[in-house]
Amino acid sequence: MKYSAATHVGLMRSTNEDGHCVFDLPSWPAMLLAVADGMGGCEAGEVASALALQSVREFLERQQPPADPGGWGEVLRLAIRFTNRRVYGEASTAPGYRGMGTTLTVALCGRDRAYTGHVGDSRAYLIRRDSIAQLTEDHSLVAQLVRSGRLTEDEARYHPQRNVLTYALGTEAETRIDIRAHSLLPGDILLLCTDGLTSLVTDPEILGVVSSEGDLDRAAWRLVDLALERGGMDNITVLLAQAPGMDGGVRP
């Protein structure tokens, strides 16, 4: 898989609490992609996101992949549960880290399938030709209100409580973890990002940038630039990975 990542502190904050990783798991026929958006004062947010990424990676490195790829999702769930306990343990014992937490959105990508594992309001998308589909459901108060029909997408974008999460990693001993399986076709693009992008750039705009840029690096930075042009209120992270195309081309 080709991949590219872009991250920026934004225009309003002094530290970047977002983290991301792309990692080829040695014993798996798969690649690990992940983004995490940390929260908690005095650098605790950075610690939470970095610890989550490190911990999910270490867990998967120690596992042999199940012979049946249908079992990958369950291993990913165990990896995220382990990670939640580790961040929660650190948050409850280290005085400076009390209350820290993070989002975590992971994609375990094989040749023709991907599993997403998700907690919080970062997102994974699948871009296939001229379509974009959100693969994850935001664990946020406003997303819940949108799903129940009490808010529109547009109202949610400007809602004063738009940053309130219903689930996060590391804030409770157990958390909700969404695992989903997706099939991958040649040329498909997976996009993982933090809410610093999606609070300012809409899904059709994301699709427009990715399908008009012929190059993953340029697309990732163009998306970051778009969020910056609109105020860059938060840290912004974008990760793109593309399944090999039939002709090796970059475009979806």
Contacting residues toward Ca ion, per CB under 5 A: 37, 194-196, 234
Residue tagged 């970047």 (tokens)? 16
d(CA 56, CA 138): 20
CB atoms within 10 A of CB 213: 18
Q: How far is it, in rounded angstroms, from Cα 11 to Cα 13?
A: 6
Tell me whether residue 90 or residue 195 sits nearer to Ca ion (CB atom): 195
What is the closest distance, in whole angstroms, from the C-beta atom of residue 227 to Ca ion in the complex? 11
DSSP 247: T
Cα separation, 186 vs 189, whole angstroms: 9
The single residue listed with the structure tokens 């959100």 is 134
| Residue 103 or 242 having the CB closest to Ca ion | 103
Q: Provide the minimum distance between the beta carbon of 44 and Ca ion in the complex, in angstroms, as a whole number.
A: 14
**Closest distance between Ca ion and the C-beta of residue 163, in Å?**
8
Q: How far is the CB of 229 from Ca ion (least distance, A)?
A: 18
Nearest to 137 by CA among 127, 128, 150, 147: 147
Is 171 or 194 the residue whose CB approaches Ca ion more closely?
A: 194
31 in Cβ contact with 22 (< 8 Å):
yes
Residue 28 or 167 with smaller CB distance to Ca ion = 167
Question: Rounded to the nearest whole angstrom, what is the least distance from the CB of residue 164 to Ca ion in the complex?
Answer: 13
Beta bridge partners of 23: 32
- In Å, what is the CA distance from 133 to each residue of 200, 203, 207, 218? 17, 8, 10, 21
Q: Which residues pair with 182 in a beta bridge?
A: 114
Of residues 8 and 252, the one with the C-beta less far from Ca ion = 8
Of 37 and 188, CB closest to Ca ion: 37
Helices then strands, counting H and E runs in the chain, come out as 7, 11
Q: Kindly state the smallest distance separating residue 132's Cβ from Ca ion, in Å.
A: 20
